[in-house]
């Protein structure tokens, strides 16, 4: 919004991707220097892409987002829950190691998957 002496904007975005989190943390760190940083950043962008100030041009941005670990885990959990809903799983029989059908509840499957995600960290830290 433009007033007689300055411009005033309010920004807000979710914390769903690494880029969003990084940007938010960086802007928080800038404190009251955010405005100067944003003005310089936009000036540099316009200098590198002068066509964007042409009123007849449509500004297009391609955003490549990196989902957070929690977002990915939730996506996988939802997909697995949807896929396993109402299905039976084959598990080996302890007697003869031949597969036998055992119905496992979806909650047990989700709990098992949560345990698997919790244990993934040990592979990241050799």
Model pTM above 0.75: no
Could you report the per-residue pLDDT of 98-126, keeping only the tens digit for each?
555 555 555 666 666 666 666 666 655 55
Regarding whether 74 and 57 lie in a shared domain, the answer is no
Please report which confidence band the pLDDT of residue 86 belongs to, taking 50, 70 and 90 as the band edges. Answer: low
Domain of 98, in residue numbers = 69-124
Could you report the per-residue pLDDT of 41-76, keeping only the tens digit for each?
999 999 998 888 888 878 777 777 777 788 788 888
Could you report the per-residue pLDDT of 29-42, keeping only the tens digit for each?
999 999 999 999 99
Regarding whether 117 and 62 lie in a shared domain, the answer is no
**How far apart are alpha carbons 44 and 122 in whole angstroms?**
43
Regarding whether 93 and 46 lie in a shared domain, the answer is no
Half-sphere exposure of 66 (CA within 13 A, CB side): 6
Three-state DSSP class for 54? Answer: coil
**How far apart are alpha carbons 6 and 126 in whole angstroms?**
53
């Amino acid at each position: 919004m433009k007033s007689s002496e300055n411009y005033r904007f309010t920004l807000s975005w979710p914390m769903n991707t690494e880029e969003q989190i990084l940007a938010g943390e960086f802007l928080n760190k800038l404190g009251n220097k955010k405005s100067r940083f944003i003005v310089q950043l936009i000036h540099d962008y316009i200098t590198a892409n002068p066509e964007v100030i042409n009123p007849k041009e449509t500004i297009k941005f391609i955003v490549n987002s990196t989902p957070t670990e929690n977002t990915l885990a939730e996506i996988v959990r939802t997909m697995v829950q949807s896929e396993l809903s109402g299905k039976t799983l084959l598990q080996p029989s302890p007697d003869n190691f031949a597969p036998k059908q055992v119905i496992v509840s979806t909650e047990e499957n989700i709990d098992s998957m949560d345990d698997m995600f919790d244990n993934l960290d040990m592979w990241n830290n050799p």
